[in-house]
A and B are shown apart, each in its own frame.
Chain A
Amino acid sequence: MEKLLIVKGGKIFTMEGAPLEGGYLVIKNGKIEDVTERMEIPNGAQVIDATGKYIYPGFIDIHTHTGLWEEGVNIEGSDGNEATDPVTPHVRAIDGINFYDDGFKEAVSSGVTTVNIMPGSANVIGGQGVATKTTGQILLNPSGIKMALGENPKRVYSSQKKMPSTRLGNAAILRKTLLDTLNYIEKKKKDKKVFDFKLEPLVGLFEGKYPARIHSHREDDILTALRIMKEFGIKFVIEHSTEGHFIAEILAKEEVPCALGPTITTRIKQELKFRTPETAKVYEEKGVLFAFTTDFPVLPHYGLFYSAQIAVRYGLSEETALKALTINGAKILGLDHKIGSLKKGKDADIVITDREIFDPRFLVMMTIVDGEIAYEHKTRDDLYI
């Protein structure tokens, strides 16, 4: 028998037009079957009464290290950076993730249902990311190739007395590796036996299968990324984009999507000096496609909402803020046909809260992933706050 789950009442933010007050959200076989103003509830359906509550699509964080840097574990659970070589496209986040880590439980209880988990930013080319539900269902692997410009690779490899120790080195290594890949592609055309374990994952970039996801905070690093990616005709996403507000017009014109954040950290590194909560507002004004990110474990997953709340106080509209927590992330991941809004046929990833998410006191009352209740708030003890 088909299982029907119906969420009744409440204010439904479908992200497909205006919110719906007091409607019905029908879930069948893990998918959204319908979002409707009125209906007869069929016999045997499981009904969740959300009267007076707020209903959102599952929230999406497109840049995390969930399960790669484990919670409550020291070096034994620190698997974010293979910092032994600045070029490691062959390593895969999916192979290092502990899906049983508390970070995932924190994500689910915070209403974050999809994360894009990537290797860290120690390496110029850090490896392959994976987009996954926070309950463990893999959505995309690889979701892209993580790359990094700026301070981090410089700092890591100058301490090892290796290249790159400057931004010049970062760019040169990136360009050289991409050229090596082009040469490799040519060789493969001539000789089918040619196989390079390290370069093979980069071929997908040239085939447009997945984008480069390039950690860059400072304006110059963002523009270096843009220059090199244009040179090679590779699709890419700017990760962090801390100084993006300085060059928002260029980002909009070149249609560069941005993961924005974490925006509520201190300027501990020099490249964060011009971090401001106003970047989101500038992106909105200039038309840059962006999604908020926590860079977990830099922020907890619930930091996503504080980033949005603070950006709203600095002039971002609530409407765009909501998009930057849901559908925009889905678009940047290329998964907007599946997640990011409440629409017939999409995955039933749903979050029910007691107050609007822009109210800092709000609590997640329930998280549903693929139609299954993954979290239900009952007592203080089940919070990961």
Chain B
Amino acid sequence: MKVIKAGKIITLKDNKILENRYIVVEDGIIQDITASKPSAEEIIDAERLVVIPSFIDPATQIGLAEEGAGFNYYDSDESTSPSLPFLRSLDAFYPKDLGIKDAAKGGVSYFVSSPGDSAVFSGLEGVFACKGNVADEMVRKFPSALKLNMNYNSRIRWRSEGKYPSTKMGLIALIREKFEKAKNYEKKKEKERDLEMETLLQVLRKEIPLKVSVNTRDEIEKALELKREYDVNMIFQEAEDSFMVADLIRKEEIPVIAGPYFIAGRLYHQRNHYVKNLYPLYEKGVVFALTTLHPIVPVHLLYHQSALLVKVGISELDALRAISTNPAKILGLDKETGTIEKGKKANLVFLSDEPFTKKSDVVGHMLEGEMVWKNF
């Protein structure tokens, strides 16, 4: 049993903020949050710190796009065919990627590792924890989604090779063609195993959602149409123009993973890539989370990135939710993590000062009851 003596706890459960409490942790779970001192073999003194739920990055290529090794060691983008839904990030995950240590130091407990963005169906994503020695010890949920790239990157890639699908028409045709094929495959009584079809069926049966990369309004509207047509679950990623159709997205209950924001160099289809454009989503009640898309932006800057939300007028608690509670919800992990409350995993970040103040930084990180980073 471990006990954390916490000066302040921002639970993110409702708007509850607790002061001078003890968090009792056993078997990686928060057993109790109490004002009276329990007896324990190990007391972690965080009396001067602020404890908040640890962070989750719902869209990275950690483990696939290895840092510090050079571009030749990237294993994230199998850009040889437009339909590769059966690729699995778990099978190429390198557990010594420098990004994983960064995640631990940056308070990011869980991150999604996602295959590529060239293929239209680019493969299966999984949720990993920054703890453990091998991929199979680190994986927490697999598959968590199938990645579908309806954004510009994918079709421009095939256009450069003179291959189908090289236009938006072609892209949508390919998606429909594959889904129709999967529906027929399901109906067949005697069938050979087909990895492509089996993976697509997981989506059509709503066992996993589609994580859909979209940029522009027309792509977003087309994705909404496909969602209705095939009755599948969707998560939007990037979705720069979603502020234009926030009502529709809210109605379809599609969450949005937005970011990253420590970059410039927007291309034409990303011309609305500004944090301020998340405000309409916030106002309309769309569930949104921030991502670094690591290695686009380093994963440990997720917390720093969330300060940008405060700059555009989003409340500090909701800015924190965008990197903890909301991604937990989006990944279907909200029963076990994303807030600090009894019965949830002890996934905690220790901040040196009140969130977003000038000296506030991640000085400690507990992941499932274990300190994976401690600098206090």
Contacts and interface: CB of A to CB of B under 8 A. Distances in A.
A106 interface: yes
A72 B266 contact: yes
Contacts of B69: 270, 273
Q: How large is the interface on A (under 10, 10 to 19, 20 to 34, 35 or more residues)?
A: 35 or more
B271 A270 contact: no
B274 interface: yes
A295 to B, nearest CB: 10
Contacts of B358: 309, 312, 356, 358-360
B279 to A, nearest CB: 6
Contacts of A363: 311
Contact of B268 (A73, A358, A383): A73
A59 B172 CA distance: 47
Given A266-B67, A266-B294, A380-B279, A310 B304 contact: yes
A69 B263 CA distance: 13
Interface in B289-344: 294-298, 301, 304, 307-308, 310-313
Nearest to A151: B70
Interface in A135-159: 151
Interface residues of B, number: 40
Nearest to B98: A267
A297 interface: yes
Interface string A289-315: 000000011111101001001101100
B247 interface: no
Given A73-B267, A309-B358, A359-B358, A264 B262 contact: yes
B359 A106 contact: no
Most buried by A among B263, B264, B308, B359: B264
A270 B312 contact: no
Nearest to B270: A72
B311 A299 contact: no
Interface in B44-69: 65, 67-69
Contact of A383 (B263, B265, B311): B311
Contact of A266 (B266, B267, B276, B298): B298
B252 to A, nearest CB: 26
Interface string B259-285: 001111111101100111001000000
Contacts of A228: none
B262 A303 contact: yes
B99 interface: yes
A313 B279 contact: no
A306 B276 contact: no
A272 interface: yes
Nearest to B306: A360
A384 B274 contact: yes
A385 interface: yes
B357 interface: yes
Contact of A103 (B65, B264, B271, B357): B264
A34 interface: no
B310 A361 contact: yes
A360 B307 contact: yes
Given A383-B312, A384-B274, A265 B298 contact: yes
Given A69-B265, A264-B298, A361-B311, A383 B274 contact: yes
Given A71-B271, A267-B67, A380-B313, A360 B356 contact: yes
Given A264-B262, A268-B67, A359 B357 contact: yes
B361 interface: yes
A74 B276 contact: no
Nearest to B293: A266
A71 B274 contact: no
Nearest to B310: A361
Nearest to B271: A72
Among B267, B270, B275, the one with the most A-chain Cβ atoms within 10 Å of its Cβ is: B267
A119 to B, nearest CB: 16
A266 B99 contact: yes
Contacts of B262: 264, 299-300, 303, 306
Nearest to A273: B68
B315 to A, nearest CB: 12
27 contacts: A69-B265, A71-B266, A72-B270, A73-B267, A151-B70, A264-B262, A265-B298, A266-B67, A266-B296, A268-B65, A268-B67, A268-B71, A269-B70, A297-B264, A300-B263, A300-B264, A303-B264, A309-B304, A310-B301, A359-B357, A360-B304, A361-B310, A380-B279, A383-B276, A383-B311, A385-B276, A385-B312
Q: What 7 A-B pairs are tightest by C-beta distance, nearest first?
A: A297-B265, A72-B271, A273-B68, A360-B307, A297-B264, A270-B70, A266-B295
Interface of B: 65, 67-71, 98-99, 261-268, 270-271, 274-276, 279, 294-298, 301, 304, 307-308, 310-313, 356-359, 361
